[in-house]
Amino acid sequence: MAATYRDAGVDIAGADTFLQKIRAMVKTTYRSGVLGDIGGFGGFFHLNLHKYQDPVLVSSTDGVGTKLKIAIAMNKHDTIGIDLVAMCANDIIVHGATPLFFLDYLAMGRLRQDIATEIVAGLTQGCLQARCSLIGGETAEMPGVYQLQDYDLAGFIVGVVERNHIIDGSEIAVGDRIIGIAASGLHANGFSLVRHILFEQQHYDLADHIPALGRPLGEELLEPTKIYVDTVLNLLRDFPLSGLAHITGGGLTDNIPRILPQTCQAIIHRQQWSRPAIFDFLQQQGDIPVEEMWRVFNNGIGMVIIVREEYVTDILQRLHALKETAYVIGEVAARKSAAPPLLYR
């Protein structure tokens, strides 16, 4: 018998139809600089060098981990793309880089156009929030690698910053204050532990209404990651920021030290903000040790800003005007040779 690619589980014609279906949606993200259309071998973006004196491109790539399993179990796929863009965009905005363009990789056991279209709708929304253009991607059918209901998602972003405006933490000094901007929830980290505790140990269902959370468990877990691009760019117009840290995998414990000079130690006051209910719920349900909580989850702080003390009041006022919830959560102290880079109090 003659064999075709479709017999093996790959539908080329379906992929072409899917591309046509998402084309108009993707174009809503196009900003100045985008050349051509999706569907080519490569995505084109023209960097207007007249706008910059010494531009540096900043890139990041990321995924959303096993939060995908929650989206698949709920059959709700229109927010996971926001998470993906957020994880990438938040990683480059901490260096002061304005996002320019984004590409995605979607791999499925079989192309389900309805699900794939929902995913792209989330990617589109994320790119609009991050003010970057979705200029290309790859949709791969991989029968035998993924189960028919499964998929995987990865993203890649490029932004630009003037070389003399790069934020890398080198300006952080003893006496600086640490401001935390609230997270929208769990974001997209720690879900392997979340799933282990809630579904394998405690046998919750995603439809269960959790009084402490005020909504069904699945809705809480799928809350999209907050994108901080507009907020940070707004601050950068008027304030010198010494350092920025995206509180992603590793929590405050691991991410703040990534930007600290060797001579500095971050002192974090854990009582300075109210931790959202989902974190208390998880800790109680899993009997998670305190330090493990702070190493795995963001605990309600999604972005950290380190600034000179003289700017704190004005920055907090600006953040509140931008409808952000923000707190002074600590300060920078001198670090003794044997001391850890971050200390909780």
Is the pLDDT at 12 greater than 90? The verdict is: no
- Residue 253 confidence (pLDDT): 98
pLDDT band at 262 (very low <50, low <70, confident <90, very high): very high
The pLDDT, as a whole number, for residue 35 is 96
Taking only the tens place, the pLDDT of each residue in 15-45 is 888 888 899 999 999 999 999 898 889 999 9
- Position 7 scores a pLDDT of 72
Where are the strands (E) in the chain, listed by range? 34-35, 44-45, 55-63, 98-108, 133-141, 151-162, 177-182, 209-210, 215-216, 243-246, 264-268, 301-307, 326-334, 342-344
Q: Is 85 exposed, middle or buried (0-12, 13-18, 19+ CB in 10 A)?
A: buried
**189 close to 63: Cβ distance less than 8 angstroms:** no
Q: Are 28 and 128 in contact (CB under 8 A)?
A: yes
Dist. CA 121–CA 46, nearest whole Å = 25
Tokens of 103: 């590409």
- Segment 71-89 shows an average pLDDT of 98
Fold of 12-165: 60s Ribosomal Protein L30; Chain: A; (3.30.1330)
Q: What confidence score (pLDDT) does residue 11 get?
A: 77
Supply the pLDDT for residue 6.
81
Residue 1 has pLDDT above 70, yes or no: no
Cβ–Cβ under 8 Å, residues 60 and 91: yes
Q: Where are the domains of the chain?
A: 12-165, 177-344
Q: Which residues pair with 107 in a beta bridge?
A: 140, 152
Q: Does the structure show a pLDDT above 70 at 121?
A: yes
Look up residue 93 and give its amino acid.
I
Position 245 pLDDT exceeds 90: yes
177-344: CATH topology is Phosphoribosyl-aminoimidazole Synthetase; Chain A, domain 2 (3.90.650)
